[in-house]
């Protein structure tokens, strides 16, 4: 080949390489390209339905607001106060063995935080010795954006010896969890997480309840709950299952029927008894199961671990082949908004292709064909109804998680949802699937929208939903400082 051609090729490759390198520091505000979606509303509903609007076009966004101003009323005293000390070191498992990892107040999972709907919760996080720094994100809770706990987007990571205070009033009763959002793949995998339950103001609906955190430590599947939960036959027990692992988890009950009372902290309407079927619990997701304790007891199972409720329950049952389909489980009820009047329609197409991520060649995840950080930023205005089509053509399953909102499933592969309203914050999108979802943009901020297989997030399957007029002073940096993934 002529020398000049070779030089040209090397130069082109060099430019591609260096333009894929992440800047030392960068802002969530200037990643990729703003994507305003396409207009979905009939005339008169969307102020700007041409699909190519930009900030400042149409009606002005008003004064920009910083994420740091999006907080709970600072004058309101806390109803519940919790101190959490994060530490890097050893995690002691229930069987007495220890593995390297992260603890909160000496344990992993960290303590169960319980708060009643409407109360103001204040959590003071202290980083004792985690050299990378740490944060806490409140997974599934519609907190004010300023306390969302994403390093480089809503705060700087708390370095060793530093504190960070989170204050919010949970809007919905249900099962949630908290975890680090700084260098989150190793920190969450290593156990920097814990359960959070918001009790309904109207009191419990079952006789007893327990919270079961599913987490795999160094290859060992654990269910952090009382492994034997004594309960009288005939009594009802709510089992709050939380999947903190990176992949979908089958859960089932041996020896009894169960009902799915809630998914991702949202009650289902008209849940019917399930027999000999499992439920797929998405990575990051929660399911509240209700068991009426039978004479011989029952066993709540995940592969490799279980909890006995009552006397005993059959041991060693296989994973049921049949699964509950939440698309048609329960009975319909009003959604609370009309997805037909969406102001914007977005595509979130997950793919995979060869390219450069931060200068490293590889087969990387793509969002609408683009590789991180050159990914679309989904732009909305407060109050809009938004639809999103999430499709996956990447050869792997992705548990897609949007911060600060619940999305409502409208259809899967063109089949409309016919059961209970199915509101989620974590959605299992299998290879080849397409979901249509909708939500109301009612919580201004800059909100991560990423895969909760945190290794995939680190491999670039991460973007955000951004409200027009919201800014952040925080910066991400791949090599030092804030690394939310």
Residues forming contacts to ligand C2O in the complex (CB under 6 A) are 137, 139, 179, 181, 284, 401, 403, 448, 450, 452
For residue 376, the 8-state DSSP code is E
Q: How far apart are CA 270 and CA 263, in angstroms?
A: 13
Toward Cu ion, which CB reaches closer, 274 or 367? Answer: 367
Query: Based on CB atoms, which residue is closest to Cu ion, 238 or 398?
Result: 398
> To the nearest whole angstrom, how small is the minimum distance from the Cβ of residue 456 to Cu ion?
3
Distance CA 182, CA 156 (A): 9
H or E segment and range at residue 259? strand 259-263
Whole-Å CA distances, 404 to 75, 107, 146, 227, 481 = 23, 27, 11, 32, 24
The alpha carbon of 195 is separated from its chain's Cα centroid by a whole number of angstroms, namely 13
Candidates 96-104, 124-132, 306-314, 448-456 — which segment interacts with Cu ion by CB under 5 A? 448-456
CA 354 centroid distance within chain: 27
Which one of ligand C2O, Cu ion, none is in contact with 401 (Cβ closer than 5 to 8 A by kind)?
ligand C2O
Q: Which of ligand C2O, Cu ion, none does residue 381 bind to, with CB < 5 to 8 Å depending on kind? A: none
Question: Which residue's CB is nearer to ligand C2O, number 103 or number 453?
Answer: 453
Residue 138 CB, shortest distance to ligand C2O, in Å, is 9
State the binding partner of 137 from ligand C2O, Cu ion, none, CB within 5 to 8 A by kind.
ligand C2O
Residue whose C-alpha is closest to residue 375's, from 357, 394, 401: 357
Q: How far is the CB of 178 from ligand C2O (least distance, A)?
A: 9
Query: With contact defined as beta carbons under 8 Å apart, do 227 and 249 qualify?
Result: no
Nearer to ligand C2O, 139 or 412 (CB): 139
Among Cu ion, ligand C2O, none, what binds residue 453 when CB lies within 5 to 8 Å by partner kind? Answer: Cu ion
Q: Is 181 in the site for Cu ion (CB under 5 A)?
A: no
With contact defined as beta carbons under 8 Å apart, do 250 and 319 qualify?
Answer: yes
How crowded is the C-beta side of 208, counted as CA atoms within 13 Å? 16
Choice from 244, 282, 453, 482 touching Cu ion (CB under 5 A): 453
Q: What does 451 bind: Cu ion, ligand C2O, none (CB cut-off 5 to 8 Å by kind)?
A: Cu ion
Among 286, 456, 458, 478, binds Cu ion (CB under 5 A): 456
Q: Based on the shown chain and the rule CB under 5 A, indicate whether residue 458 belongs to the binding site for Cu ion.
A: no
Task: Please identify which residue in the block is written with the tokens 């498992």.
Answer: 93
**184 part of the interface to Cu ion, by CB under 5 A:** no
Q: What does DSSP assign to residue 105?
A: T
**Look-up of token digits 């699909």:** 51
């Amino acid at each position: 080949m002529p020398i000049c051609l070779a030089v040209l090729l090397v130069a082109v490759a060099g430019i591609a390489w260096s333009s894929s390198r992440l800047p030392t520091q960068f802002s969530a505000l200037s990643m990729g390209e703003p994507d305003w979606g396409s207009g979905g509303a009939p005339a008169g509903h969307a102020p700007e339905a041409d699909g190519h609007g930009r900030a400042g076009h149409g009606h002005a966004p008003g004064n920009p607001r910083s994420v740091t101003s999006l907080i709970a009323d600072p004058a309101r005293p806390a109803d519940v106060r919790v101190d959490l000390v994060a530490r890097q070191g050893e995690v002691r498992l229930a069987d007495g063995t220890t593995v390297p990892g992260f603890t909160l107040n000496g344990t992993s999972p960290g303590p169960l935080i319980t708060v009643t709907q409407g109360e103001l919760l204040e959590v003071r996080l202290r980083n004792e010795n985690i050299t990378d720094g740490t944060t806490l994100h409140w997974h599934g809770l519609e907190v004010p954006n300023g306390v969302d706990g994403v390093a480089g987007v809503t705060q700087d990571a708390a370095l060793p010896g530093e504190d960070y205070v989170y204050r919010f009033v949970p809007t919905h009763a249900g099962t949630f969890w908290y975890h680090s959002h700084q260098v989150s793949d190793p920190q969450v995998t290593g156990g920097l997480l814990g359960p959070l339950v918001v009790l309904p103001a109207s009191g419990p609906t079952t006789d007893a309840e327990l919270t079961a955190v599913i987490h795999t430590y160094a290859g060992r599947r654990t269910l952090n709950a009382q492994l034997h939960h004594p309960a009288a036959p005939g009594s009802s027990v709510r089992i709050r299952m939380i999947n903190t692992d990176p992949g979908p988890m089958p859960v089932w009950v041996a020896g009894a029927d169960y009902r799915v009372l809630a998914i991702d902290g949202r009650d289902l309407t008209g849940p019917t008894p399930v027999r000999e079927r499992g439920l797929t619990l998405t990575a990051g997701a929660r399911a509240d199961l209700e068991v009426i304790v039978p004479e011989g007891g029952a066993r709540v199972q995940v592969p490799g671990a279980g909890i006995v409720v009552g006397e005993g329950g059959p041991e060693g049952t296989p994973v049921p082949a049949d699964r509950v389909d939440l698309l048609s489980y329960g009975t319909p009820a009003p959604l609370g908004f009309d997805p037909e009047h969406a102001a914007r329609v977005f595509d979130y197409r997950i793919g995979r292709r060869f390219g450069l991520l931060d200068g490293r060649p590889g087969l990387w995840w793509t969002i609408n064909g683009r590789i991180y950080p050159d990914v679309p930023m989904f732009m909305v205005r407060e109050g809009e109804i938004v639809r999103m089509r999430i499709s996956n053509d990447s050869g792997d399953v992705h548990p897609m998680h949007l911060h600060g909102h619940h999305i409502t499933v409208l259809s899967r592969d063109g089949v409309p949802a016919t059961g209970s309203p199915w509101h989620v914050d974590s959605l299992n999108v299998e290879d080849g699937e397409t979901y249509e979802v909708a939500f109301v943009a009612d919580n201004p901020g800059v909100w991560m929208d990423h895969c909760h297989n945190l290794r995939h997030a680190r491999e670039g399957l991460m973007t955000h939903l951004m409200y027009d007029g919201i800014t952040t002073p925080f910066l991400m940096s791949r090599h030092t400082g804030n690394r939310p993934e």
